[in-house]
Amino acid sequence: MNDYYADLGVSRDSSAEDIKRAYRKQARKLHPDVNPGPEAEAEFKKISQAYEVLSDPNKRQQYDMGADPFGGQHAGFGGNFSFTDVMDAFFGAGAAGTQGGPRSRVQHGQDALVPLQIDLSTAVFGGAEDLVFDTAILCDTCDGEGSRPGTGRRTCDVCQGAGQVQQVQRSFLGQIMTTRPCGACHGYGEVVESPCPDCSGEGRRRDRRTLKIKVPAGVDTGTRIQLSGEGEVGPGGGPNGDLYVEVRVRKHETFQRRGDDLHCSVELPMTAAALGANLPLQTLDGPRDVEIKAGTQPGDVITLKGLGVTHLRTNMRGDLLVHTNVRTPMNLSDEQRDLLRQLATARGEERPEGNFQRADKGLFGKLRDAFK
């Protein structure tokens, strides 16, 4: 009599799971598609026969009592050997299409990604925004059941509610049984007699939603806000997926963001730059007086601490940097020209000397000029 335990390399007290695991391991090595040849084919038939006996509680009991269901002969698969076990050996459980029962109509909804346009002030301080988007919502006609109100579902006549059908085919290895989803009920085991007219039996429909969301301070273009359970409703009225809101900040006519700092430019009359002045500036925090120091040069930067963007994680605010641009007066009157000539004479600048500088100054040259 054949020693099926030795063929699979297991002990006589091995569990059904141990036997199945041992068969999978050897089937991966000996399957004709992986290891062609007469010797491997014979070994594959040998372990397949051993598994067919030891995986069946009745046949295993007969074998343990001294009876060989195959009469001591290696007859290939014999009977109706399940092709599922062969597929499981290579691809894991369920590879041949089996799922252990009918499919569930209730499935988890997909996540959704929706853009949101906000102003710079909202990015700086945070705020609430109305988000309008199209998504899948629960069908309020059938409450996710998929059937017309007053009707229901019936058990599939083809698979008798199993959601699967089996088919036996003959091959050079013997008879192989394959299992696949039922085509009549699409694997659900039930048939909707009269689908819902509003959702066509899916249990959900497309509609437009308006959702008020809280935008945290410090977001920037590309920031994504996750809202758990606000995505699409799943088929059959299944649980919602998540909603991801991708922020896009509109350009501001005055301020430009660079990291957590804001930048803007202010144009000064030559007299204000020379004599100094207090200049009113409308910031995102309201009006502020900017002190223009006497002798301010074009390109100088005035820093207003703490008037920048709120950091997304630390809640610390950046700065507002004001870049100065000195405006040279034009269309002077005769009196104004005389006054400027008097100023040039008083400063000894009637015949100014040009000081040329290299246009390709390196880093150390720029630092040296800054310290000067």
Residue-level pLDDT at 35? 67
pLDDT, tens digit, 9 for 90 and up, residues 13-38: 888 888 888 887 887 777 655 666 77
User: Considering the chain, what percentage of its residues have pLDDT values greater than 90?
Assistant: 44
What superfamily would CATH give domain 4-91?
Answer: DnaJ domain (1.10.287.110)
Residue 98 has pLDDT above 50, yes or no: no
pLDDT, tens digit, 9 for 90 and up, residues 286-317: 999 999 999 999 999 999 999 999 998 888 99
**Region 44-64 average pLDDT:** 82
**Region 58-75 average pLDDT:** 67
Higher-confidence position of 24 and 107: 107
Identify which of 43-47, 98-102, 215-219 has the greatest average pLDDT: 215-219
pLDDT, tens digit, 9 for 90 and up, residues 158-199: 988 888 888 777 766 666 777 888 988 988 899 998 999 999
The reply to whether domains 112-150+193-249 and 256-371 share a CATH topology is: yes
Report domain extents, the chain.
Answer: 4-91, 112-150+193-249, 256-371
| Class of the CATH-defined domain 112-150+193-249 | mainly beta
Residue-level pLDDT at 369? 56
| Cα separation, 126 vs 60, whole angstroms | 70
Residue 372 has pLDDT above 70, yes or no: no
Q: Which of 183, 191, 184, 189 is nearest to 161 (CA)?
A: 189
pTM (2 decimals)? 0.62
Higher-confidence position of 42 and 219: 219
Is 142 a known ligand-binding residue?
Answer: yes
Residue-level pLDDT at 156? 92
pLDDT, tens digit, 9 for 90 and up, residues 230-274: 999 999 888 999 999 999 999 999 999 999 999 999 999 998 999
Residue-level pLDDT at 119? 97
Is 264 a known ligand-binding residue?
Answer: no
Binned at pLDDT 50, 70 and 90, residue 53 comes out as: confident
Binned at pLDDT 50, 70 and 90, residue 79 comes out as: very low
**Region 54-77 average pLDDT:** 68
Asked whether 209 and 302 are in contact (CB, 8 A), the reply is: no
Residue-level pLDDT at 1? 66
**Region 351-366 average pLDDT:** 58
Residue 95 has pLDDT above 50, yes or no: no
pLDDT, tens digit, 9 for 90 and up, residues 112-161: 999 999 999 999 999 999 999 999 999 999 988 899 998 888 999 998 88
Higher-confidence position of 108 and 360: 108
User: Which CATH fold would you assign to the domain 256-371?
Assistant: HSP40/DNAj peptide-binding domain (2.60.260)
Torsion of CA 57, 59, 62, 67, to 10 degrees: -160
